[in-house]
Structure 1
């Protein structure tokens, strides 16, 4: 089976031609276009449909697999809701629009669910029955994959780990409109805002600049960096207590923050996790940006084969 796999994020729409079966997938061609999210949901959907139609006309594919930002209805492919990073994206009937534009079968899921499924089946979680995945980048999201299947939850909201409360985040605004969530202090954008709100002598533009400032000896930068990682570890430990996974897989830009970040995440995890899960391995993801492309394809296969 050959699929067109789409990964729709707030910055870009990645695409790939994916072939193979559930156990072994490969990408023969890939590319991307800017999302231009602030043009609004309707225009973003129109451009995605135009892209898909052009690719389907050029490449003989069996169907379209989609990983998209937002809460996605896995039955229809509709975008149920989305945050302010994708204005007007919520309410988009994405699955129906792509079917109409390409005349191909379409299956769509949330991008972080797809990322988790890819890592669980083909990446760092391969061979484990129950995998807890967490992507820590501009935002924070995750998934629980058990026996190769995503746990969606009753409202398809499962995996919004970035919206778990932590006392370090008190009064810090979150992308969801609430305050006190770890995304507001542990994501790349969140830790930047958190540091800038605390600092009187220095400002940073992103997590990388904060890391460099911390490594240069700036005391508050180092403290903020360490506290953020420790808080994430505490939340992961609490999740492990609740879910009881076989392994924990982390991915996203913040996982490239160096040994101090990883050490503090692991220290926070051990402080929070119960004895039964305290010694679980916290692994780094292996698939990078291919994870959601593969995960979307895996979900497509599972639906078409049922």
Structure 2
């Protein structure tokens, strides 16, 4: 097996739950689709600390490079989509939440330089997702792409003419940390309770919003009427955002209300982002986008209510690359880096 004249990169997607990897062959022709092979993953096991995680990522890289050599795949470079806020120039993780204890301050480029002389480029995981979708997915061919990832958390990326815009401090696109009245009182991953959208509209946030309202139902508040208006008992706490979506799909009134309120609030926030960025397209990806028509209808309603007249027609579309998007984006980032040297 060989990448031929099309370059193949070893890519990583480092998240709070797992570290995914694969060989990404980027197409020579603009309209072609990248090929991802050699997919594998290891659990992040965040509790073991940042030093341990870094060592296991490098060990995974060595196994992947050995596999590539065995399959006659020539690796041109290594692209990394990393959780937290990485410095792409120095290879240092400059900020990270408590989801990955000890991750902040890790020197990733130095660790890879000890085992390989291949060029390495690291960008944020949500930025990589956006770059993948903008380059080869639902945003392909558009000049300005706003990418929103709605999964365990909420993140975003701004891609302009094929380049990732990271801002002065590397944090541009942090879509989960824009204000929302619905989020007031909920603890955000950044530490505030003043009202961000992530703690009520991410997958985890859907669960927390549902369970907070359910507490009111158990206490006899107005939410009880919503929960049992169809004649049933007050439901048990939700275990996940997917659980809330499943209950909504089954017609449970409380779940339907939570799903719609959460999506509408997120849509309003995306409308505000659209007003600021004025993108050609807004790509929405992540596990929560599978929540169904209640979620999508409310998201689009909230966006329409918040967006300016000239921004309102901007299409909101579902991402096309699925879980491969960060790997493809990481490969695109290292290719850009190699070409610029």
TM-score with structure 2 setting the length: 0.87
SS at match of 2:267: helix
Map of 1:63 onto structure 2: 77
| 1:198 equivalenced with 2:216 (yes/no) | no
Could you tell me how far 1:75 is from its partner in structure 2?
A: 1.1
Map of 1:99 onto structure 2: 113
| 8 Å Cα contact 1:76/1:107 also seen in 2 | no
| 8 Å Cα contact 1:211/1:225 also seen in 2 | yes
Map of 2:224 onto structure 1: none
For residues 13-37 of structure 1, give each alpha carbon's deviation from its aligned partner in whole angstroms, at most 9, with x where no partner exists. 1111122346443223211111111
| 8 Å Cα contact 1:249/1:284 also seen in 2 | yes
For residues 257-286 of structure 1, give each alpha carbon's deviation from its aligned partner in whole angstroms, at most 9, with x where no partner exists. 001100000000000000001011100000
Among candidates 1, 7, 10, match of residue 13 of structure 2 = 7
Could you tell me how far 1:53 is from its partner in structure 2?
A: 1.6
Map of 1:26 onto structure 2: 35
Map of 1:38 onto structure 2: 47
| 8 Å Cα contact 2:145/2:282 also seen in 1 | yes
Map of 1:269 onto structure 2: 303
Write out aligned runs for 1:49-198 (5 A). 49-59=58-68, 60-179=74-193, 180-198=195-213
**Distance (Å, rounded) in 1 between the aligned partners of 2:47 and 2:240:** 21
| 8 Å Cα contact 1:166/1:181 also seen in 2 | yes
SS at match of 1:296: helix
Among candidates 247, 259, 266, match of residue 232 of structure 1 = 266
SS at match of 2:237: coil
Which region of structure 1 is more displaced relative to structure 2, 116-125 or 211-220? 211-220
| 1:255 equivalenced with 2:289 (yes/no) | yes
| 1:241 equivalenced with 2:275 (yes/no) | yes
**Distance (Å, rounded) in 2 between the aligned partners of 1:73 and 1:251:** 24
**Distance (Å, rounded) in 1 between the aligned partners of 2:242 and 2:67:** 40
Q: Which runs of 5+ in 2 are unaligned?
A: 1-6, 69-73, 219-233
Map of 2:328 onto structure 1: 294
Q: CA RMSD in A?
A: 1.3
| 8 Å Cα contact 1:52/1:102 also seen in 2 | no
Which region of structure 1 is more displaced relative to structure 2, 17-26 or 170-179? 17-26
| 8 Å Cα contact 1:137/1:253 also seen in 2 | yes
**Distance (Å, rounded) in 2 between the aligned partners of 1:30 and 1:195:** 35
Among candidates 40, 47, 59, match of residue 56 of structure 2 = 47
**Distance (Å, rounded) in 2 between the aligned partners of 1:83 and 1:154:** 20
Map of 2:337 onto structure 1: 303
| 8 Å Cα contact 1:119/1:291 also seen in 2 | yes
**Distance (Å, rounded) in 1 between the aligned partners of 2:258 and 2:183:** 11
Map of 1:282 onto structure 2: 316
